[in-house]
Structure 1
């Protein structure tokens, strides 16, 4: 489909001037844009400062005479000093941010022959940083002035590294993008914040595949969609966001869903199907749980990612799709590659940008702002304001941030919990009895199944008897009371989620430490572990059992 050409440029207060009949014998850069026989300009966005409104109107009249099919929009910019770099850039930046670019139907030329040198530089920077999508156009006069001779023009397609000319504005824009990726939630976890900072830079600078690894409910799908929306706002993608959970794809249906098929390709293929990869053309394809794909589909996907071409099922003709890939998984794909369940070449291709999203239990300092966010969302859905009482809020957050709260479903668990509280709150007030009931519900939800032999949990997130035997030896475990086994298992579970001995001690002794004049949580935990012949160095060593080494 041919796109309409749209030009953006400043009025030339000297070069575009002229009122008598002789003006048509003069080369005027802006008017010359519509005098080229090989170019049809659909629309011109003519920027000017208010003192030159009469000239701008004259130029519009002349352009309509020269090219009746061109629409000229006059855009006044209240710039007090056209040589003030900060002022000119700010006005142009704000105008570009509010302009509705349509890159699917229009292509944009930014004219840099007219205007002050400051204006030309600012336009250059905005095009180079993709705030104004498209290319630069530079016009030149003919060698000999002659009526109707438009001179020449040249298009400049920028592919340069970014300039940080106005550091504060670009820095503020980057922070806005980071907050957008975090949905405006004031997260406090330093590791997560650093991860999002890098994801923001990758999102706006790279088209390479991105891999998110993390437990179910950690926010992989949500972050992928926010990345797409950020790219869309920067005019870096034109298509749609297409999401598919690979765990739901099986047999012929997997290849058909992703790559499409021709009629009759297999039993039940009654009509042609385009497939989701083609649906994601010019957009973003998010393949959640990519580790669930079969090896055949992995091979087809590798070709599609590398060549942007593939064969639909039952077809001997390739089709094309230029999509950007974001993949998600709750598996360690390195282990899957070693086991032969995931192709090494595909893993290498999607592993250029790889990020591990921590679960909610690993971000206890982020629980409070996320509770506030979820409460605001729940209130909006219910159409009323919902708030905690002070004592209810303290009780809920104390429990939510404690090791007892497993958050096995991560943000899905938190969202469900807050939704229940908001729904049941009379007069929009969440009181302590309601919170206590919700805490009991969560304890029941996360209660691990009993171990058949000794009552110790064997579900993920808790340690069983065999786990302790692998660490301490069978004879030692046999000589322990059930009480000691349960207590040690709980302590080791907290250790597995802590980065340091001090962090683990702080979590385990968070109440009693406030009643002590000398606080040494690490020493208290070290002495407890020593009772069983354990120390932190051994727990964090390479020989430590894998079931408790999951934080490393």
Structure 2
């Protein structure tokens, strides 16, 4: 005992005068701090006493919290701490855990302690001793510390070997995870994996879209509130909803299935039955009971695409189901429970639909907590090439063999896809269909210039059927030629020149434009300089490729 006091006195003599005070906060251990009684207790490791017996760690104040019924043990521990560390001030605080295994009760009492404590982190170092107390109390301490109700580091102690004495060992843990490079790096990696998963591994280049996906990844993991995805037809609403479900499934936040329905296909009398189910005999023809889609989505995710197509009655029942987690099947007297997360998709302006009396304002308010606008493909032209690669990979998986572009064919297709002539009215559905057609018609696993030109012609006719035959003359030559030169050209020359100018404006270089314009005749020549032939043609009209591009 005398030796213990000597060690502590030695620490005091060598300690710095102007250091910050160390304040330990902990619960009395009714088992570990009790141990033996009498003089035998000095031979046992007792956490609250042992933490004050460390040679290299001076405790200036110990805030010891104890059950009201353990007052006698608390006073014994106080006396023993003062024996081994006379300079340590011990403050006893009595609490009444009627049920020390009740999370709500324990957390509430410990929170009250934190809120009532006058912390001074600029003057004192706070250390939360979590070795003692029930597991419930330890978890509550951790949560309070992580939420910064308690500006402390974690203090963990453990018994040492017999030769180490009754003091044991201790370790200080800082919960500021930003200071741990390995943890921070792993968190960033997991975050990137989540966003790449939602994008199907497509290396998108649109900053706004990438930023939106990053936020959706956070919401998908952390929230079960409804989500609303706006976007034109074919923008990828259904695919994104499925990927959100799969991400939540990977992280273990959903246990049920993914149920998707296009509300435009269930309009009318069958909508109620399809969504909410019905009982046997609920209406003529209902010979058997039917389980609705909402019931199927229990513990899972329900995706209602084109939610704006639902009738007002279905909207009212859906609102009740989202808020109360229960609903009445058609003809039923008792409700059915279903705890699902809702993702709604629409290409409509639901605010306008509310003004027109076609959509319930209270339902819109309920599903509009997280609203995201998916841009169409024509508004993400920088993402066309990555998505083109994605479609080719998907085709390879489906067909079991690889099909790719030759260099000039890819340049030709990409130039058209990025040009104003490419409308992409059905967005990614158009791109998917376009790739599928070229892959199917490609010989030897290579998409060539002829395949691309045929596909471009098909897309132009699809998007501009009224101008398909006259699109070559729609370009205004007066923007490029003087009135004198234009007056000398026959209609034949005007049509030809208009097409040449259009190809030049769609191409990245004179060589690319030449390959596209002379793609047939160049095959019959031993040597070809397509760029030179193009320049010679343009010179006849006083033009150059640089002027046009």
TM interval, short-chain normalised: 0.5 to 0.7
Matches within 5 A, 1:109-508: 166-449=183-466
1:219–1:411 CA contact under 8 A, matched in 2? yes
Aligned length: 320
Go from structure 1 to structure 2 and tell me whether the alpha carbon gap of 1:327 and 1:508 turns closer, same or farther (over 3 Å shift).
farther
Go from structure 1 to structure 2 and tell me whether the alpha carbon gap of 1:254 and 1:437 turns closer, same or farther (over 3 Å shift).
same
Q: Secondary structure at the match of 1:426?
A: coil
TM superposition shift of 1:224? 0.2
Quote the Cα distance in structure 2 between the aligned partners of 1:394 and 1:513: 8
2:385–2:414 CA contact under 8 A, matched in 1? yes
Go from structure 1 to structure 2 and tell me whether the alpha carbon gap of 1:163 and 1:230 turns closer, same or farther (over 3 Å shift).
farther
Quote the Cα distance in structure 2 between the aligned partners of 1:360 and 1:227: 20
Q: TM-score, normalised by structure 2?
A: 0.54
Quote the Cα distance in structure 1 between the aligned partners of 2:299 and 2:176: 23
TM superposition shift of 1:329? 0.4
1:210–1:350 CA contact under 8 A, matched in 2? yes
* Structure 2: tracts of 5 or more residues without a match: 1-31, 33-129, 133-137, 147-174, 480-501, 511-549
1:211–1:355 CA contact under 8 A, matched in 2? yes
TM superposition shift of 1:250? 2.2
Go from structure 1 to structure 2 and tell me whether the alpha carbon gap of 1:280 and 1:456 turns closer, same or farther (over 3 Å shift).
farther
Query: Deviations along 1:107-148, whole A, 9 cap, x unmatched?
Result: xxxxx999xxxxx99xx99xx9xxxxxxxxxxxxxxxxxxxx
Q: Secondary structure at the match of 1:297?
A: helix
RMSD of equivalent CA atoms: 3.4
Matches within 5 A, 1:505-516: none
* Structure 1: tracts of 5 or more residues without a match: 1-14, 16-111, 115-119, 129-160, 458-480, 488-506, 516-552
Go from structure 1 to structure 2 and tell me whether the alpha carbon gap of 1:388 and 1:226 turns closer, same or farther (over 3 Å shift).
same
Quote the Cα distance in structure 2 between the aligned partners of 1:378 and 1:410: 18
Quote the Cα distance in structure 1 between the aligned partners of 2:365 and 2:503: 41
Matches within 5 A, 1:32-181: 166-181=183-198
TM superposition shift of 1:252? 2.4
Go from structure 1 to structure 2 and tell me whether the alpha carbon gap of 1:189 and 1:508 turns closer, same or farther (over 3 Å shift).
farther
Q: TM-score, normalised by structure 1?
A: 0.54
2:415–2:507 CA contact under 8 A, matched in 1? no
Quote the Cα distance in structure 1 between the aligned partners of 2:253 and 2:507: 54
Query: Deviations along 1:234-272, whole A, 9 cap, x unmatched?
Result: 110000000000001122210100011111111111111
